Structure 1
Amino acid sequence: MNSAGPEEGISVKDLINQIKSGIRYLMTKLTFILLLSLCGGALGLTYALLKKPRYVATCTFVLEDGGKAGGLAQYAGLASIAGIDLGGGGSVFQGDNILELYRSRLMIAKTLLSKMGDSGRGRQLLIDRYIEFNKLKEKWGSDTKLRAITFSGGDLDRLHDSVITDIVNTINRTALVVSKPDKKLNIIKVDFTSKNENFSKVFVDRLVKNVNDFYVQTKTKKSEINVKILEHQKDSVRALLNLSLSGVASSIDAAPNANPNLTVLRVPSQRKQIDVQASSAIYSEIVKNLEISKVSLLQETPLIQVLDEPVFPLPVDKPGKVKYPIVCFFLTAIFTSVILIMRKIYKKILQ
């Protein structure tokens, strides 16, 4: 039990000696490392010179969701007892769901199928401009159907849908970033990057408008339906009330000097007066509920205020002609040194 073999391991002294040995070995290969590093720096400079600039369009806005106030909730509760729905229920969009709405195929496709708005190219569609400056038709090669595709005709078939889906996926993956810079605030930031400056600005402007309009319409759709129903009922009851008033006047005019002893002559006018009273009461309640519904609609309408929108000239995302070659130089030097050290260790193990 007292006999024990030598402990396996490495001491600090041996580790230092191995590090020194590795450094001496790299010094013998210094010329080779410098040559490869210079080649890496040259490649980095070439990439920085040939890399086309990408323009970043940024839009930030604040979103404040609408909701019932305390007093309005009391009116809504009383109205619900009477069987009247004033809206204000749950919404399909709550919290950060609007961020996903920006990335949805529906909104991006709708934006791509809108027109640029400039007269120089005959109001070209955004998607046609995207295909043009990204030279997608050249990448599609010998596929004649894809090379001849255009979206200005209006009719979309299976091939058009597949191209739109591919472009939407590419935009979501490489160009579009939707985020909340501060989780505590309702400020949303939309960034879009492309090779065309005008396209970047127009795309962000259209996307923000389409998504925000759709968001507001969806949030307030139920309340708007209630307001329209109540307005229709108000108009119907008002027409009935006017008809009843005309009936009372006609009944009185039919017997202007009725014998007071013949009460049967007053029955038609009394019936019309009852109709007038009932219609007046119903009309008053409908008007009251309509006003409450309008207030509910205002309370539920989200407030969307744009803080910063993209303006020309847009920021340019392009590799620096000085920074990029230096970074590539040092990365190549580190990578080459690691490969040489691993190669030496591998040869030592084989020995």
Structure 2
Amino acid sequence: MYKPLKPMYSANFTFVLSTEQRGNNGLAGLAAQLGFDATTGSTENIFSGDNIIEFFKSRSLIGAALMSEVDSVSHQTLLNYIAKNSYAKLYQQLGPFGSNPKTYSKLQLRLYRNIISYVSQSFTVFKKDKKLVFYIISARSTNPNMAYYIAKYMLDETSNYFITTKTKVTATSVELLKKEADSLGKVLQNTYSSSAAMLDRTYNLNPSVTVQRSSSQFNQAKANAFASAYSEVMRNLEVAKMNLQRETPLYRIIDEPELPLIAPVGQTLLSHIIGASVLGFFLMIVIIIGEYFYKVLR
């Protein structure tokens, strides 16, 4: 009995991912004072132009995307979903995959690598126009959910990696400033407490005896110095946060498909035509052979 060919579903996500530097980095000198070199490790050349497209084909990013949960209730990962639907027999033998590939058996690792290759070949990433910053990731599969999940989670994983790597220098500077501000805040608080305690002990002291006030005065001088340093660090922290916001790449999903995906009508019709043609061809051969034997044996 003739079985029609399965339609091929496409899941297309249109997104914008700006690779331009938005504002200059004013943290280089500040980061250098804190012992961090903000002038090295520039990622602008790495992520400029069409280089971002190559990141989608990274095996490590595909592997990370496979660990994404497609079902928050059962906590089923994309890896297990693909293995269960596309490699059913092997999946039944090998069982569900964990979240750490280093713990996989040899057979599991082989299937895991096959799935990475399968995912790599199932989607493409391209620009609508060379002059625009609009990209499209398109995944194709005979399973509509699989096409959708592959496109969605590959886009999520790659964009997160892109943004994290692009802002790593500035984000690290912000974290250093936060720690410095917290540390100075605690020291300043302790210094003020110590100064207050000394003032209480020397309250209403004989004006002719001033030596006992020297410790209190010294603590007050330290408190003033720490207060100035704390104010400067807090000011630099706010500047760092603004720079981080400016340097964070612009990422937005412009258009995305909705489940359930709809198979192209023309493609479905074509598959039926091809299937019917193949079936008709074999029926014609059977009729011709039958007529031949009928004439020979008559």
Shared fold per TM-score greater than 0.5: yes
Q: Report the TM range for the smaller structure's normalisation.
A: 0.7 to 0.9
2:290 aligns to what?
A: none
Deviation by residue 1:239-290 (Cα, 9 ceiling, x = unmatched):
1112211222222221222232333122111111111111111111111111
Rounded Cα–Cα distance in structure 2 between residues aligned with 1:54 and 1:224: 43
Q: 238-247 or 219-228: which moved more?
A: 219-228
Instruction: Say which SS state the counterpart of residue 140 (structure 2) adopts.
Output: strand
Q: State the AA in 2 paired with 1:134.
A: S
> Take 1:206 and 1:94, find their aligned partners in 2: how far apart are those partners?
20
Equivalence for 2:289? none
**2:78 is aligned with 1:149:** no
State the match for 2:270 in structure 1: 321
Worse-superposed segment, 158-167 or 314-323: 314-323
Aligned partner of 1:94 in structure 2 is 47
**Which residue does the alignment assign to 2:245?**
298
Instruction: Specify whether residues 116 and 167 from structure 1 end up closer, same or farther in structure 2 by C-alpha distance, changes over 3 A only.
Output: same
How does the TM-score come out when normalised to structure 1?
A: 0.66
Structure 1 residues 136-185: Cα deviation after superposition (integer angstroms, max 9, x where no partner) = 63xx7xxxxx7612334554233322222222223323x21111121111
Find the aligned partners of 1:251 and 1:259 in 2 and give their Cα distance: 15
Query: Who wins on radius of gyration, i.e. which is larger?
Result: 1
Matched, 1:161 2:109: yes
2:80 corresponding residue in structure 1: 128
Relative distance call for 1:248 and 1:99 in structure 2 (3 A) is same
1:194–1:248 CA distance, 2 compared to 1 (3 A): same
Please tell me the root mean square deviation across aligned C-alpha atoms, in Å. 3.1
Q: Aligned partner of 1:281: which letter?
A: S
Whether the aligned pair in 1 keeps the contact of 2:140 and 2:147 (CA below 8 Å) is yes
Distance 1:107 1:152 in 2: 17
Deviation at 1:124, TM superposition (A): 4.1
Give the one of 133, 158, 162 matched to 1:186: 133
User: Are the counterparts in 1 of residues 27 and 173 from structure 2 also a CA contact under 8 Å?
Assistant: no
**Alignment-derived partner of residue 162 in structure 2:** 215
Shift of 1:81: 6.8
For residues 1-351 of structure 1, the aligned pairs below 5 Å read: 50-65=4-19, 67-70=21-24, 73=25, 75-76=26-27, 78-79=29-30, 82=33, 87=38, 90-91=42-43, 93-95=46-48, 96-117=50-71, 122=74, 124-135=76-87, 137=89, 148-154=93-99, 155-173=103-121, 175-316=122-263, 318=267, 320-321=269-270
Give the Cα–Cα distance (whole angstroms) in 2 for the partners of residues 64 and 153 of structure 1. 35
Which aligned segments of 4 or more residues in structure 1 are displaced greater than 6 angstroms?
none
Percent of aligned pairs sharing the same letter: 27
C-alpha displacement at 1:97, in angstroms? 2.7
Partner AA of 1:128 in structure 2: N
CA distance in 1, matches of 2:72, 2:203: 74
Q: Which runs of 5+ in 2 are unaligned?
A: 279-298
SS of residue matched to 2:253 = strand
- For 2:14, what is the secondary structure of its paired residue? strand
TM-score normalised to structure 2 length: 0.77
Shift of residue 292, structure 1, vs aligned partner: 1.4
